[in-house]
């Protein structure tokens, strides 16, 4: 594999592709969405076979992937995402005349994307990272995940077909296979301008450090998962104990617990702990174990459980049974808040259907927990409205710790839309200012540029007089269209 050739092609493609209109980029993405749908019957069985995930889930994931592509196609066709901003000149200003300054977002350049094992479609080859980078105008060099190579090749082929059909250069998307050394070489290559990653904390942090050691450091948008705590308040639990046990277990065990938004930590008041634990245990008993994504992930799950079993602070309500290693069985352990607070290791993600139930005594416990809690993708609060009236300080602390704060429902099930935030303070991601799901994901791969006194005929369409694209722009401090 000649990496220099791959990056030379990507850079050449970039200089052409970045200048295409939003309509042209949108047409390419729409073509890709159609091609993926036309290939559903081939893609779905491959992904099912390689991921051990059920057909219904994979079918849904392909629908999500295609929907996501269409969302970005519409976003770039509409065009306002570039944040066009114009401060007109004022030649009569004294003591000095004012220049004409026009600013918008321009794509960064070639982006390296690492796909996730747990979403072989929606967070992989044509997943959110790849598509948001392509939508912004950046070519993508995609590092395939070894857990689903055939699925990845097939989807890459669909992307190449879409490029061919819309007469775009092949260098806009390159599919690369290989191990850790290949991934690191992609991140180190001087032409790479940004990295997007979904996976383990170890992998994401290693790539982040590598990118910062380069002669030219580059941004790394690594989504590294979290434990997504749920905070339960006494009245809410007392009122809805059965249904909250059902919701919790359904979310915990969805996809055999292999979601970055899986609720692995739940804070329960002492007054309700026994009753809630009983209700959860009853639900867990009805869940059969199911195959995990690959043997390595199953092994990592059982290793983590085994380590936790050596900790005497934990009382096991249900122990995972590694009889058939590939199968992930559910597990639940209980711990006092005072013990949980003493060791950061109890905050570590266990990727699978395991949860830790932390029993708190009072408000002081809650405030200490919120202060020591690590950064999360999500935090969920289950409380009656009246229980939250005096909790503004706690909420204030919790807002600092997550990217999405939920007051109903469960954290699994991330909507793809305009307002979604899927990212959070470290260690859940390496850049809390960004999201990897939803329309704002596109902003990760663009940077602002300002043109000062640029001749009108040279300006990009988004910044021209008369607003030929008809997009939302801020002109002289006011939004207009």
Q: Which residues bind ligand NAP (CB under 6 A)?
A: 114, 116-118, 143, 145-146, 179-180, 183-184, 198-200, 203, 206-207, 223-225, 260, 297, 300, 349, 351
Complex with ligand NAP: residue 163 or 224, whichever CB lies closer: 224
Complex with ligand NAP: residue 1 or 180, whichever CB lies closer: 180
Beta carbon of residue 123, minimum distance to ligand NAP (angstroms, whole number):
7
Beta carbon of residue 116, minimum distance to ligand NAP (angstroms, whole number):
5
Residue 334 CA to residue 272 CA, distance in Å, equals: 13
Among the listed residues 260, 334, 349, 402, the single catalytic one is 260
Residue 195 CA to residue 209 CA, distance in Å, equals: 12
Among the listed residues 30, 50, 223, 283, the single catalytic one is 223
Complex with ligand NAP: residue 11 or 184, whichever CB lies closer: 184
Complex with ligand NAP: residue 139 or 225, whichever CB lies closer: 225
Beta carbon of residue 350, minimum distance to ligand NAP (angstroms, whole number):
8
The torsion defined by the Cα of 423, 429, 432 and 435, in degrees rounded to 10, comes to: -30
Residue 58 CA to residue 170 CA, distance in Å, equals: 28
> 453: phi > 0 → left, psi -120 to 50 → alpha, else beta; which?
left
Q: Is 404 exposed, middle or buried (0-12, 13-18, 19+ CB in 10 A)?
A: buried
Complex with ligand NAP: residue 207 or 284, whichever CB lies closer: 207
Coil, strand or helix at 202: helix
Q: Is the separation of the CB atoms in 103 and 448 below 8 Å? A: yes
Residue 158 a catalytic site member: no
**CA distance to 141, 214, 303, 437, per residue, from 192 (Å):** 9, 11, 36, 22
Residue 415 a catalytic site member: no
Complex with ligand NAP: residue 152 or 272, whichever CB lies closer: 152
Beta carbon of residue 143, minimum distance to ligand NAP (angstroms, whole number):
5
Contacts of 33 (CB under 8 A, 6+ apart): 66, 69, 70, 73
Residue 145 CA to residue 50 CA, distance in Å, equals: 11
Q: Is the separation of the CB atoms in 233 and 241 below 8 Å? A: no
Beta carbon of residue 423, minimum distance to ligand NAP (angstroms, whole number):
11
Beta carbon of residue 406, minimum distance to ligand NAP (angstroms, whole number):
18
Q: Is the separation of the CB atoms in 90 and 476 below 8 Å? A: no
| Residues labelled catalytic | 223, 260
């Amino acid at each position: 594999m000649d990496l220099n050739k791959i990056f030379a092609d990507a850079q050449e493609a970039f200089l052409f592709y970045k200048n295409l209109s939003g309509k042209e980029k949108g047409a390419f993405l729409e073509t890709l969405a159609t091609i993926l749908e036309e290939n559903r019957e081939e893609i779905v069985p491959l992904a099912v076979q390689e991921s051990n995930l059920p057909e219904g889930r994979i079918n849904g994931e392909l629908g999500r992937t295609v929907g996501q592509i269409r969302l970005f196609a519409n976003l770039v066709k509409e065009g306002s995402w570039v944040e066009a901003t114009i401060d007109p000149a004022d030649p009569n200003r004294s003591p000095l005349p004012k220049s004409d300054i026009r600013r918008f977002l321009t794509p960064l350049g070639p982006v390296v994307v690492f796909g996730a094992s747990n979403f072989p479609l929606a967070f992989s080859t044509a997943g959110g990272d790849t598509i948001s980078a392509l939508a912004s105008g950046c070519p993508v060099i995609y590092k395939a995940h070894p857990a689903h190579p055939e699925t990845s090749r097939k989807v890459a082929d669909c992307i190449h077909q879409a490029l061919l059909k819309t007469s775009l250069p092949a260098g806009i998307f390159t599919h690369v296979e290989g191990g850790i050394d290949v991934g690191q070489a992609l991140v180190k290559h001087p032409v790479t301008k940004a990295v997007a990653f979904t996976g383990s904390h170890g992998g994401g942090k290693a790539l982040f450090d590598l990118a910062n050691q380069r002669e030219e450091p580059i941004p790394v948008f690594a989504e590294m998962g979290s434990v997504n705590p749920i905070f339960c308040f006494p009245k809410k639990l007392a009122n809805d104990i059965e249904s909250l046990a059902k919701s919790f277990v359904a979310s915990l065990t969805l996809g055999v617990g292999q979601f970055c938004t899986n609720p692995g930590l739940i804070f329960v008041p002492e007054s309700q702990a026994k009753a809630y634990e009983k209700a959860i245990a009853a639900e867990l008993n009805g869940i059969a174990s199911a195959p995990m994504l690959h043997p390595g992930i199953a092994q990592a799950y059982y290793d983590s459980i085994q380590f936790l079993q050596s900790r005497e602070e934990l009382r096991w309500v249900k122990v995972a049974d590694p009889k058939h290693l590939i199968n992930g069985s559910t597990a639940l352990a209980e711990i006092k808040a005072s013990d949980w607070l003493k060791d950061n290791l109890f905050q570590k993600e266990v990727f699978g259907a395991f949860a830790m139930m932390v029993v708190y005594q009072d408000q002081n416990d809650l405030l200490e927990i919120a202060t020591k809690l690590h950064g999360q993708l999500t935090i969920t609060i289950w409380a009656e409205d009246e229980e939250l009236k005096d909790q503004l300080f706690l909420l204030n602390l919790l807002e600092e710790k997550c990217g999405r704060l939920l007051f109903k429902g469960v954290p699994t099930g991330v909507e793809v839309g305009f307002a979604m935030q899927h990212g959070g303070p470290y260690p859940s991601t390496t850049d809390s200012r960004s999201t990897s799901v939803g329309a704002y994901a596109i902003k990760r791969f663009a940077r602002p540029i300002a043109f000062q006194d640029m001749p009108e005929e040279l300006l990009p369409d988004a910044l021209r007089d008369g607003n030929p694209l008809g997009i939302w722009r801020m002109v002289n401090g006011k939004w207009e269209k």
